[in-house]
Amino acid sequence: MIKRIILLLTICTIAITIHAQKEFKEFYYPPKNKLFAPEHYFKTLQYYNKELKEMKLKTKKDSIDKANVYYLRGRCKFELTDKRGASEDLTFAIDLHPTQESFYYYRGLAYHWLKRYDEAIANYDTAVSLNPEKMDYYVNRGFVKYLSGKNDAACYDFSKAGESGSFEIYAIIREYCN
């Protein structure tokens, strides 16, 4: 069961990564074949540190680009298991561009791993309100609600994820919601 949950979360993470990249200036990001290689994330992190030092905020687009760099650096920190550093970078990204749902989603993931469940739920709530069609947001919010002892609310989120096209979630519903 745990392996299914981890696989589902991995699939959701990759899908969100691809979606989030469309709105912003193209920046270096690990190739898919190296996506989970820690040494590659470390090199990428170095790249984003350099980018952030050189970036200036003259226009709204500059602000959005800088938010994206904070987001991507936060993603690297997350993958390197620095969840606190990731949540800080994602907070900077949100401050610069507060309408990007993936920023809230990933900060929710970081808080989730830090066992800061109320903050995770609040971030997932914002991601859902910005894009109620993303099943990944419901799935992860459901897991945090389940861990918080809010089983009925968790099952509702799992059901919403199923409505949005996640066939795999029905195995979770069968196991935890009936």
72 falls within a domain: yes
pTM of the predicted model as reported, rounded to 2 decimal places: 0.79
Q: What share of the chain is helix, strand, coil (3-state, %, to 5)?
A: 75, 0, 25
Per-residue pLDDT, 36: 54
For 78, the domain range is 2-13+54-176
pLDDT attached to residue 28: 52
Q: 24 lies in a domain?
A: no
pLDDT per residue over 15-47, tens digit each?
444 444 444 444 555 555 555 567 778 788 888
- Look-up: residue for tokens 């968790």? 154
Say if 40 falls within a structural domain.
Answer: no
Phi-psi region of 45 (alpha: psi -120 to 50; beta: other; left: phi over 0): alpha
Nearest-angstrom CA–CA distance, 22 and 33: 20
Highest-scoring range by mean pLDDT, 6-10, 51-55, 111-115: 111-115
Inside any domain, residue 127: yes
> What confidence tens digit (pLDDT) does each residue in 136-156 have?
999 999 999 999 999 999 999
Which of the four pLDDT bands, split at 50, 70 and 90, describes residue 70?
Answer: very high
Q: Per-residue pLDDT tens for 87-116?
A: 999 999 999 999 999 999 999 999 999 999
Number of structural domains in the chain: 1
- The enclosing domain of 70 has a CATH number of 1.25.40.10
Higher pLDDT, 47 or 119: 119
Average predicted confidence (pLDDT) for the chain:
83
Domain assignment present for residue 34? The answer is no
Rounded Cα distance between 41 and 114, Å, is: 20
Q: Answer yes or no: is 150 within a domain.
A: yes
Structure tokens at 103: 């920023």
Q: Is residue 83 part of a domain?
A: yes
Q: Is position 32 within any domain? A: no
Q: H or E segment at 77?
A: helix 60-79
